[in-house]
Amino acid sequence: MEPMILDMLLKAGLGLIILGMVLNIAGLLTWVERKQSALMQDRIGANRAAIFGFTALGLLHGIADAVKMFTKEDCMPKGAHRFIFNLAPAISVAFAMAAFAAIPFGNTLTLFSRTINLQVAELDAALLFVLAAMSIAVYGVILAGFSSNSNYAVLGGMRAASQMLSYEMSMGLSILGLVLLNDTMNLQEMVRAQGGTWLGFIPRWGVFTQPLAFLVFTTAVLAETKRAPFDLPEGESEIIGYFVEYSGMKFGMFLLTDFIETVLAACLVSVFFFGGWQIPGLHATGFHFPWGTTIPLPPLAVSLLGVAAMMTKVVFFNWLFMALRWTLPRFRYDQLMHLGWKILLPASIANVLVTAAWVAWRG
């Protein structure tokens, strides 16, 4: 009985740490978004919010935003469905965060002769869980659009619904190849299967086994985050989108969902295609270089290095997604549908078929 309670407490603690980390990264992303776009466009970026004259490079703008959103008037349009209207942002943000439970942030960590798996929920069907959570998060968007009693919001909700439908299909299919190859749906196992190297220097990462799936998945998951170039549900320049009637912190929740989903997308891409917490050449006992040198490391250091590697990859992909978001113009709606149904979907199906044939031939 005793160890079980301890285990539960450990998992709860881990969950809290990951939740805090994700929320902090999402908050920091508001700063990254401002500053990165500014540097890309030869500007300085937000730098005025200050406490006692300290601006901290504009970092305080995130706090100023939060204060503003919490103190703003919370309005609801006449004729809106009160219950669903209030529920929608909560669904969005809650399920986007729930998906992190299945993400492995590191290998097992051994502390005081106790082995902790650095994945909150050790689900065998973690992959399905993540996909399901992301899909339910979309419900928040659609419900927000339909419950607002506003034509613009309905348009945004409809756009979101059709966009998500077209892209989730290719997203699920593109991952199927990896499932076939690695013979598992557990994300932790999937990361473990990506350890080791070919010829001593090419890491066995998913991006090398499934390059097409990588492209399809990255595109689809970017569409899932609803940010440019796939920001049609938001359509800031013409319909404002599904959250047009929201104000205050309820709007803030939708904004937060966007950033959380960006982090989630970065996590998923690193886990599926870039070996999660794997560092090429790092084994359970330390570094083994192809030319024979070894640097022995204690297990604790190996685990922590793994977590650091995962974080580095997540930060890199967040940077990349931001760069994409500020580089590419928005798709036209027919181009979006064309890309989803006529390019990504056939590509992912072909990918699955080829992979299946290869797996069957290999036996």
Partner 1 sequence: MAANVKVLKRRELTWWENTFLPSIYAGLVITSRHFFGNLAIHISHVFGLRKKERGSTTYQYPEEKRPLAHRYRTRHRLMKRDSGETRCVACMLCETICPAHCIAIVAKEHPDPDIEKMPASFDIDLGKCVYCGFCVEVCPEDAIRMDTGRLDIAAYSRGGMILNFDHLMNPELPVLDPAKPVAR
Which residues make up the interface to partner 1 (CB under 8 A)? 36, 38-44, 215, 323-324, 326-328, 343
Nearest C-alpha neighbor of 217 from the set 156, 173, 154: 173
Q: What are phi and psi of 24, to 5 degrees?
A: -65, -45
CB of 271 to partner 1, least distance (A): 23
Question: Rounded to the nearest whole angstrom, what is the least distance from the CB of residue 354 to partner 1 in the complex?
Answer: 18
Cβ pair 106, 303 in contact under 8 A: yes
Instruction: Report whether 217 contacts 272 (CB < 8 A).
Output: yes
Question: What would the two tokens of residue 301 be?
Answer: 């250091």
Alpha-carbon distances, residue 208 vs 104, 185, 195, 212, 213 (angstroms): 21, 19, 13, 9, 10
Closer residue to partner 1 in complex, CB, 128/215: 215
234, 216, 221: which is closest to 330 by C-alpha?
A: 234
In terms of CB distance, is 43 or 114 closer to partner 1? 43
Nearest distance from C-beta of residue 323 to partner 1, angstroms: 6
- Nearest approach, Cβ of 215 to partner 1 (angstroms)? 8
Shortest distance, position 213 Cβ to partner 1, whole Å: 15
Nearer to partner 1, 36 or 182 (CB): 36
Minimum distance from CB of 7 to partner 1 (Å)? 45
Find, among 338, 317, 336, 352, the residue nearest to 174 by Cα: 352
Residue 122: CB partners within 8 Å, gap ≥ 6? 186, 188
Which residues pair with residue 54 across a beta bridge? 51
- What's the order of all strands across the beta sheet hosting 294-296? 282-283, 286-288, 294-296
Angle (deg, nearest 10), helices 345-362 and 211-224: 140
For the record, the structure tokens of 327 come out as 């580089």
Residue closer to partner 1 (CB basis): 21 or 324: 324
* Distance in Å, CB of 328 to partner 1, minimum: 6
Residue (36 or 194) nearer to partner 1, CB: 36
Q: For residues 114 and 332, which CB has a smaller minimum distance to partner 1 in the complex?
A: 332
| Residue 25: CB minimum distance to partner 1, A | 19
- Closer to partner 1 by Cβ: residue 75 or 323: 323
Place of tokens 């319909």: 239
Dist. CA 226–CA 233, nearest whole Å = 7
Give least dist CB 41 to partner 1, A: 7
**CA 195 to chain CA mean position, Å:** 22
Beta bridge partners of 23: none
When the beta carbons of 41 and 113 are compared against partner 1, the nearer one is 41
Compare residues 44 and 75 and give the one whose CB is closer to partner 1.
Answer: 44
139/92 Cα distance (integer angstroms): 7
